[in-house]
Amino acid sequence: MTAASAPGKVILFGEHAVVSGAPALGTAIDLRARVMVEDLPGKTEINIQGLGLRLSGFSIDSDGRVVSLGSSEEAAAAARYVSAVVRTLGVSDVRITVSSEIPVASGLGSSAAIVVATLAALSRHMGIDMDIRGIAAEAHRIEKMVQMGLGSPMDTALAAYGGYVQISDGVTPVELPPLDLVIGCTSVPHDTRAEVARVQELRSRYPEIVDPIFKAIGVISRKAVPCIKRMELEELGALMNINHGLLEAIGVGTRELSELVYAARGAGMALGAKLTGAGGGGCIIALPGEGACLRTITAISQARGRAFVVRTGCDGVTVE
Ligand code: MEV
């Protein structure tokens, strides 16, 4: 038996602008997807557990297609990522069990964590030599393939390397201290592909307006690095607030996201709050004041968000 786990992530700064080449900064969080691989002669089976869903079973037919045994759409989506890894490595005769603490379809990197942990567990189990760099590159290729061409390398890089990662021309891990953040989830699912397309369409209509916004977002992503390094949290919070305003300007904010942002900044006394990921739904991140996590959680919960604390800068993939 071989087991591996990989973390989820949040984008701290730079979403959408990164699609047009501006830098973005993301970090691994202490919610993990775990994958266990065991020998199963004559069969290949995928089990998806947790994900806040009912227990579900899948098997793979001889062409590598996932055969669902009566389960939810979210669990079926997770099984598609696992199946893509199984096909890429040409593996059979195994049972793969996936469990995850990362909320799905929320922009928290659940699918990347599952792909990275599956690659790590399966390659180790089969004696295939793959280092972390190879896992990150292959996971990015697989995630993009399943998502039909969509996906920045941010999620898979963070699931593989952990810590903090800056994306601009390439993927650069950055050494920064951990932070406690409060995540607030709206119950509105989001569609990353649709949001990216909408923003890019806005950019093609108003390049002289949207390009300077992307440039400003890029400046924020760069300025955030020394702020985190020196733990200048008030300034970091101010950068989060400006970045949220710029994301609203390009149309990816929603009433539900803004309600959580303003609840966190108001009653929650957060130093800053912004949406994270593609927007249109999904989650916000808030930077609580010193010793005030609970206050921020309560304010977000009262605004009908699901709130929890995460620690940033966590370990990347590990094989146990
Ligand atoms: C989505 O999590 C982040 C976006 O910038 C899209 C991407 O970078 O692929 C909106």
Structure confidence at residue 56 (pLDDT): 42
When mean pLDDT is compared across 14-18, 95-99, 220-224, the lowest value belongs to: 95-99
| Centre of ligand 1 from the C-alpha of residue 167, in Å | 11
**pTM score:** 0.92
Return the amino acid letter for 251: G
Residue type, 61: D
Distance (Å, rounded) from C-alpha 239 to C-alpha 303? 23
Index of the ligand 1 atom closest to the CA of residue 16 = 5
Distance 294 CA to ligand 1 centre (A): 29
Write out pLDDT tens, residues 104-150: 888 899 999 999 999 999 999 999 999 999 999 999 999 999 888 77
Ligand 1, atom 10: closest residue by C-alpha? 278
Q: Is the CB of 196 under 6 A from ligand 1?
A: yes
Tell which wins on pLDDT, 123 or 57.
123
Q: Is the CB of 19 under 6 A from ligand 1?
A: yes
Positions marked active-site: 155
CA angle 126, 4, 135 (to 5 degrees): 70
Taking the centre of ligand 1 as the mean of its atom positions, its distance from the CA of residue 39, in whole angstroms, is 37
Least-confidence region, from 57-61, 110-114, 179-183, 277-281: 57-61
Question: pLDDT (tens digit, 9 = 90+) per residue, 64-84?
Answer: 555 555 457 778 888 899 999
Backbone phi, psi, residue 80, to 5°: -65, -40
Q: Cβ(8)–Cβ(287) under 8 Å?
A: no
**If you take atom 8 of ligand 1, which residue's CA is the nearest one?**
152
Dist. CA 14 → ligand 1 center (Å): 9
The whole-number pLDDT of residue 282 equals: 94
Angstrom distance (rounded) from CA 310 to CA 314: 10
Closest among 191, 210, 187 to 200, alpha carbons compared = 210
Strands 45-50 and 94-100: parallel
Angle at which helix 207-229 crosses helix 192-205, to 10 degrees, equals 120
- CA–centroid distance, 143 to ligand 1, in Å, is 13
Give dist(CA 128, CA 6) in Å, integer: 19
Please count the residues of the chain.
320
Residue 174: its H or E element: strand 171-174
User: Which pLDDT score is estimated for 103?
Assistant: 87
Q: How far, in Å, CA of 58 to CA of 65, rounded?
A: 10
User: Counting atoms of ligand 1 from 1, which one is nearest the CA of 278?
Assistant: 10
Spatial distance between the Cα atoms of 274 and 287, rounded to a whole number of angstroms: 9
Return the ligand 1 atom nearest residue 154 CA: 8
* Predicted confidence (pLDDT) at residue 219 exceeds the cutoff of 90: yes
The whole-number average pLDDT for the span 87-112 is 91
- Output the pLDDT for position 57: 47
Edge-to-edge strand list for the sheet holding 180-185: 272-276, 283-287, 180-185, 306-311
Indicate which residue's Cα is closest to atom 6 of ligand 1.
16
Query: Would you state the pLDDT for residue 55?
Result: 36
Report the atom number in ligand 1 closest to the C-alpha of 152: 9
